[in-house]
Amino acid sequence: MPSSVPSFAELLNQCERSAIHLELRDCYASTERFEAWKRGERIDWEDRESWWHPYDQLIAETVARGVSVRRARIVSEPVSEYIRWEHYVTHANVTAGEEVRWLPRRQATSISLPGNDFWLFDGALLRVHHFSGDGVVVEDEITADPETVKLCSAAFEAVWERALPHHLYTI
């Protein structure tokens, strides 16, 4: 059955002011890029054509339209191998125009957090990611429920305020 959830690109293209993303997991499903990194392969950051993906282009175009794109990650420490890789590849996110911050999980105890990762577009529309135990997205849900939006927005802003900018977070 086809999904009624708009694609991420559609949602981002409709965005006018802000897109925020909160990540709560220490591991997501493995990808070929992650497996290559584990084998010791590294990205040649000077060769942008080799690593610039459609996602990076979409973010760059969105930021160029004046939309603020922010991502916050809550991570356990010591970090997982996946988070170590994610920190490494965040160079691409930042180059595309995302602002990225990291918050050690031990500093998030007093923050009311939603149970799932999400994107919030223009402070009004949520795309919630539901994962299997091994980090595979099994479903995305769209909601504009005011109470859920309020919780997610407040959680993100509380995390953002405490988190370290990417260039200051070392692992």
| 103 φ, ψ (degrees, to nearest 5) | -125, 120
Q: 3 in a domain, yes or no?
A: no
Q: 149 in a domain, yes or no?
A: yes
Q: 63 in a domain, yes or no?
A: yes
Q: 23 in a domain, yes or no?
A: yes
Query: What pLDDT does residue 121 have?
Result: 98
**pTM of the predicted model as reported, rounded to 2 decimal places:** 0.96
CB 72 within 8 A of CB 23: yes
C-alpha 101/C-alpha 59 separation (Å) is 16
Three-class secondary structure of residue 23 per DSSP = strand
Instruction: Encode the chain (171 residues) as per-residue pLDDT tens digits.
Output: 446 789 999 999 999 999 999 999 999 999 999 999 999 999 999 999 999 999 999 999 999 999 999 999 999 999 999 999 999 999 999 999 999 999 999 999 999 999 999 999 999 999 999 999 999 999 999 999 999 999 999 999 999 999 999 999 999
Query: What pLDDT does residue 60 have?
Result: 98
CB 100 within 8 A of CB 128: no
Q: 43 in a domain, yes or no?
A: yes
Number of domains the chain is built from: 1
**What's the CATH number where 18 sits?**
3.30.870.10
Query: What pLDDT does residue 3 have?
Result: 60
C-alpha 76/C-alpha 135 separation (Å) is 16
Instruction: Give residue 100's domain range.
Output: 8-168
Q: 44 in a domain, yes or no?
A: yes
Q: 2 in a domain, yes or no?
A: no
The proportion of the chain whose per-residue pLDDT surpasses 70, expressed as a percent, equals 98
Q: 1 in a domain, yes or no?
A: no
